[in-house]
Amino acid sequence: MPLPRARLAVPLVTALLGLGAGPLSGEPSPTPPSAVLPRLVSEGHAPAAAMLSASPTASRFQAAGPGIRRADRFRAGSITKTFVATVVLQLTTEGRLHLDDPVGRHLPGLLPHEAGRRVTLRALLTHTSGLPDYADVSSRLSPTARTTAREAVRRALARTPGPVGRYAYSNTNYVLLGLVIEQVTGRTYAAEASRRIISPLRLGGTSFPGARTALPPPHGRAYDAAGRDVTALDPRTADAAGELISTLDDLNRFYAALLSGRLLPAPQLRQLLDTRPANGPYGMGIYPHRLPCGTTVWGHNGHIKGSYVRTATTGDGRRTVTFRVNTDAVPDSALDSLEPALLAAEFCRADGATEGAP
């Protein structure tokens, strides 16, 4: 059964965002990825779709629909969470954080006393904190309000939390992790992710926009369900839960490096991929998807105003795929069938290779 995709609705004057949340299920596709991708346009009614497959020996870019290119920058939504989780786990390797630290130790007074004592960094990373999702608060704000994620989180934390230890996707968790990173390092989570991940991997198309509303060039256009151009938007509502801007190549490179052990030592990589705290559906900023052929791939999706993106990679990081559409309006019913069909077509091929030449 597909997990629900968390959506973050905020006033249109800032943005209307939906941050992706969970793995999807589906049947194997007997056709190659090049035959499945155009269905995101024909059946999903996306203006355009693009996909980049990569392995150590080959890569292939495919596109359907006009105005979408391999080099385009786009908003990557909740894929931000994998970057944030990686930074947190790097800080644990340095002894500056511990996964069982209570949140109140690093952010005193922000959570209600009992929650600050019981909710740990591990619970934030695995979405088992029980903390209310600030998306629910943002969706009820005045259409003229200009509210940042941190302001909305404070409103959300005034609500009664759920039980600690039960998986419930909440964007609040990752905004708090961003604050923890800032408190421990003295630098923003964006600065730390840039220093620790973006610069070492040379992810030249990846950035955290902060208050910048424009996408950096080159980029195409992004559209909402009504066909309106939403390329420019205020990303501050997404914050550490989903503000990332990236490219197809950069996301493939990041996930390949992460799963191959370039960014985390083996003990921390095992913690990243440990789904037991969430009882199966989620690790730490990353989730598994088991394909019909028996292969399990790891990655995340991102659902933000004007964009849907999904990256998946094999457990050794050797084969990776990212696909995207330039709208947030593809129906869940279409994604529930087409996304797993794309992943199965890519990773369940008998020859184990990507289509095409480098």
CATH (domain of 208):
3.40.710.10
Pairing of strands 244-246, 287-290: unpaired
pTM (whole model) above 0.75 = yes
Taking the C-alpha atoms of residue 293 and residue 352, their distance in angstroms, rounded to an integer, is 12
In a domain, 5, yes or no: no
In a domain, 150, yes or no: no
Average pLDDT, rounded, for the chain: 88
DSSP H/E element including 253: helix 248-259
User: Is the model's pLDDT at 147 over the cut of 80?
Assistant: no
Q: What is the pLDDT at residue 32?
A: 86
In a domain, 20, yes or no: no
**Tens digits of residue pLDDT in 204-260:** 999 999 999 999 999 999 999 999 999 999 998 999 999 999 999 999 999 999 999
DSSP for residue 125:
H
User: Is the model's pLDDT at 266 over the cut of 70?
Assistant: yes
Catalytically annotated residues: 78
In a domain, 125, yes or no: no
User: Is the model's pLDDT at 267 over the cut of 90?
Assistant: yes
Taking the C-alpha atoms of residue 128 and residue 130, their distance in angstroms, rounded to an integer, is 6
Q: What is the pLDDT at residue 356?
A: 38
Q: In whole angstroms, how far apart are CA 26 and each of 199, 316, 344, 355?
A: 37, 23, 9, 22
In a domain, 260, yes or no: yes
In a domain, 60, yes or no: yes
In a domain, 334, yes or no: yes
Q: What is the pLDDT at residue 77?
A: 96
Query: How many structural domains are present in the chain?
Result: 1
Residues making up the chain, counted from first to last: 358
Taking the C-alpha atoms of residue 205 and residue 241, their distance in angstroms, rounded to an integer, is 19
CB of 24 within 8 A of CB of 2? yes
Q: What is the pLDDT at residue 135?
A: 81
Band of the pLDDT at 350, cuts 50, 70, 90?
A: low
In a domain, 205, yes or no: yes
Q: What is the domain range of residue 258?
A: 33-94+188-347
Angle (CA) 5 269 354, round 5°: 70
